[in-house]
Amino acid sequence: MAPGGLSGYRPMLFVAMENFVELIYFLTALLFILGLKRMSSPNTARSGVIWAGIAMVAATLVTFFLPNLHNQGLMIVAIVIGTVVAWIAAKRVQMTDMPQMVAIYNGMGGGAAGAIAAVELLRGEFAEALGLKLLAILGALIGSVSFTGSLIAFAKLQGLMSSRPIQFPAQKLVNAAVGVGAILLAIWVLFSQSGLPILAFFLLALGFGVLMTLPIGGGDMPVVISLYNAFTGLAVGFEGFAIGNAALIVAGTVVGAAGTLLTLLMAKAMNRSLWSVLVGGFGVEQEAGEVKGSLKPIDLEDAAVMLAYASKVIFVPGYGMAVAQAQHKLREVADVLEAKGIEVKYAIHPVAGRMPGHMNVLLAEAGVAYDKLYDLEDINPEFPQADVAVVIGANDVVNPAAHRKGSPLYGMPILDVDKAKNAIVIKRGQGKGFAGVENELFFADNTRMLYGDAQSVLGQLVQSLKKL
């Protein structure tokens, strides 16, 4: 036996175990990055998710090999409960409800980061390390805001509360006061060992997340979901630095960076500054000026004839298609048209639906080939050559008012449906979009309105087309 007996052997074993854990963390970091890279392409996205999932399982399991780890029993119970709940929820969730599932999972990540910080701060773990304590406090603040903000986003998307902006007198002043109060308490916590300011700090941080999200309308939800995703990543990364966990540092940094980039891209796609999103109010009824023309309905048979004698048709799906779960019927219509030799393409706006890629996922679920889905920049030049553009439940993303100064939508990149030779809009009623702006496309001379539930209307179109 080596000199020192077991007392010398145990530290060597601990060092070996720590090195083993760090090695696995390094490998999981590579898998996270490679998985994220593969998610950038529809053809490899599924395998990217699997790779990242394997990395997360490996990082979780290897953590049990860390020396001096406590509460293993509670950790196992939490993992089992979380796994069962997540598995059942993922199996049962409808594709149309995927945005709110993403929102709630974002929140859980932020809440977990906040909980880690709360435990470490209350235990006084950073008494002699002011820098680490500052990182823990930053993670706690961002994670808490992400947690409650994501809960409100989930409630709005799920219909548990109004998706319209919720506003009250002096709201911005109240929000600013709560935010500043949370920051001041964070400074107090940084230089204090008392538990009272820590609890007050968390209460204000959690409250600020609620207040920050209430005035944000449903039209901004794609940006909000991405923003809270970035918040959660940053919070996890800060906590990883604070407690010295490499897996949390890498995972949090990757998620934070990807979420930040996606947030900026989504805001740009809507011509919305991030500040205007956070201040809120998008979704409040606004007037965009007088709309000329009138709504011109079309019956089902005439719509079928227009489609049957077209040479090129572009479908433009929106959130209304998702609500009606009409993606399968839309693909059936496209199949019938293609069987007649008609060219069919799908135009996808970056923020169509309630989260980035929402329409892509729904159409992929219906079996639509990826090579038929075209982004805004690629499909817009083709609208003038399209005999018919069919809008299914989309609104603001096809509104030509975005080209006119003075409109609340001015500058927002849209799909140029108004430039098609003919446009058919499938819509339940005559309501406005999330921006509260009348859609000038609906009143255009070359547009016809086909009213009804999208799934029912498309199903009837299939039958009518087959008879022609």
Catalytic machinery residues: 396
SS3 128: coil
List CB contacts of 284: < 8 A, sequence separation 6 or more. Answer: 164, 165, 167, 217, 436
Task: Report the alpha-carbon distance of residue 404 to residue 401 in Å, rounded.
Answer: 5
Give the full edge-to-edge strand order of the sheet including 373-375. 373-375, 343-348, 312-317, 388-392, 423-427, 447-451
17 by DSSP, 3-state: which? Answer: helix
Separation of alpha carbons 218 and 435, rounded Å = 9
Residue 425 φ then ψ, to 5°: -110, 115
Helix (H, G, I), strand (E, B) or coil at 446: coil
Return the amino acid letter for 296.
Answer: K
CA dihedral 134, 139, 141, 145 (to 10 degrees): 170
Question: Could you count the other beta carbons within 10 Å of the beta carbon of residue 143?
Answer: 31
Residue 338's alpha-carbon distances to 131, 309, 364, 371, 454, in angstroms, are 63, 12, 18, 15, 20
CB 309 within 8 A of CB 342: no
Q: From CA 299, how far away is CA 457, in angstroms rounded?
A: 10
Handedness of CA 167, 106, 432, 276 (dihedral sign): positive
